[in-house]
Structure 1
Amino acid sequence: MRLNASQLDQYVGVYDGPFGGNPKATFTITREGDQLFEELTGGKKLKIFPQTKTLFVFVRMNAQLEFIHDASGKISKRILTANGQRSEAKKIN
């Protein structure tokens, strides 16, 4: 699935939530051209690819990101599912 720049831009931002043993990790979603990336602070920048308008997958990991809209239609959080574990991070910026 391909999303246009304005569709991709709605996911761009900073998300805050637990990851691994860290109860407060920061994830940054960025856009370069027509490609989105997720980067855990201090980690690698990883490409994410849309499967639907709200579900993205990582290429080199068996993991997916689901973006959740609030009542006003804005992205409010993202849910990482990897290795049978789920982790939510709230969009803070």
Structure 2
Amino acid sequence: MYEGYKYSLIMWWAINIAIFCACLEVLESRLQDANIDSAVAILFLIPVINLILVITLCFMAGTVGTNQYGEDPRQKGMPKPPTA
């Protein structure tokens, strides 16, 4: 068997784990922007449900103004909306 095979397999796994971690970080950031608990990220491990959730998160607007995770980054430097 080819000797370099095991090293390329290790490299393949390392790259996939790095990409997976980056995707989880972006997912957590998007969930916080929508003011959704980060525990929902577990549902992304279920194959059919993750497709539905990704499409939903792509088209869902984030929370307007401040939420429990901080200020709205798109409104920095803009006047605060009037409160009713």
TM-score of the pair, normalised by structure 2: 0.31
Higher strand share: 1
User: Which of the pair has more CA radius of gyration?
Assistant: 2
Higher helix share: 2
